[in-house]
Amino acid sequence: MNMLSDEVKTAYDDFYTHSDTAWRMLGAKFKAKNLLDVCKNIEPKTVLEVGAGDGSILHYLNEWNFGKELYALEIAQSGVELIKKRNLGRLKAAQTFDGYKIPYPDDSFDLIILAHVLEHVEHERILIRELKRVAKYIAIEVPRDYRFGVDNRMKHFLDYGHINMYTPTSLRFLLKSEGLEVIADKVSITQPEVNYFNEFVNKKSPKSFLKKLKIAAEYYIKNNLGNVLGKKKKEQFANAYTVLTKKSDQNLHIF
């Protein structure tokens, strides 16, 4: 049975054909850095990225010599074609999959990466169980979309394909309840460089010193306040949450 709905499959089939490469590469640089930060105490040899998109994150993993062998799975054929065109030296295989069934045996990989994917997944627990089957460690990054009143901005999030909302707390609950142990995590605020690009290139706003100053000030104020006020505030200010997990020895039961 194919768990991926026809509507979702169609939406992503040609998703990367006309993508903005510069925008994706800029975002991927910081996503890759976050992933390496939480993985700094492990040395995975085999790394699989699930939902690898156009290979932007894999580009940086390859460039930064992370993992001896890189593998990619993606639901969109257009994404797989772009990944292959990158000619990454450490990439061993890139292929499409159905969004849930990973075509590799149990314990095939040291690490699976799932970066800005879980918020798009219709049946998140089914995918998490499959990741757990195939890898020793799982690194996940999600946007911190959830805010009060998020239900009043349905179109905004659905236009990006975001059907699940997370906070660091809710993601940890999900992962722990699926038998995963959190061994490292990180909250991050969108870097000014990314917001400059979004404002002045994507939105084509007139370049303004005051606008640039406001973007930088907001970043540094939130970052410093979070450091002073502690973990709860840092998580509230965050735009993304990155976590490294491994299979837990605890045997949790629902009911």
Q: For the segment 209-230, what is each residue's pLDDT rounded down to a tens digit?
A: 999 999 999 999 998 988 898 8
**Of residues 152 and 29, which shows the higher confidence score?**
29
Q: What DSSP character marks residue 177?
A: H
User: Who's near 58: CB < 8 A, 6+ residues apart?
Assistant: 49, 52, 70, 72, 83, 86, 88, 91
3-state secondary structure of 184: strand
- Distances from the Cα of 221 to the Cα of 68, 102, 192, 193, 209, angstroms: 39, 42, 12, 16, 18
Decide which of 232 and 133 is more confident: 133
Of the pLDDT bands very low, low, confident and very high (cuts 50, 70, 90), residue 145 is: confident
Tokens matching residue 82: 């772009």
Could you count the other beta carbons within 10 Å of the beta carbon of residue 111? 23
Local confidence band at 49 (pLDDT 50, 70, 90 cut-offs)? very high
22-35 average pLDDT score: 94
Place of tokens 């006020």: 229
Element (H, E) at 130: helix 124-134
Q: How high is the pLDDT of residue 47?
A: 98
Residue 58 has pLDDT above 90, yes or no: yes
- Radius of gyration over alpha carbons of the chain, in Å? 18
- pLDDT beyond 80 at 16: no
* Predicted TM-score of the model (pTM): 0.88
User: Which amino acid would we find at residue 109?
Assistant: F
**Is the Cα torsion angle 198, 201, 202, 207 positive or negative in sign?**
positive
Q: What is the distance between the alpha carbons of residues 139 and 129, in angstroms, rounded to a whole number?
A: 14
List the 91-96 sheet strands across, edge first.
91-96, 69-74, 46-50, 109-115, 135-143, 240-247, 180-188
How does pLDDT run across 169-184, given as a tens digit for each residue?
999 999 999 999 999 9
Integer Cα distance of 76 and 60 in angstroms: 21
Residues in a beta bridge with 69:
46
Q: Which of 63, 57, 112, 113 is nearest to 90 (CA)?
A: 63
Per-residue pLDDT at 90 exceeds 60:
yes
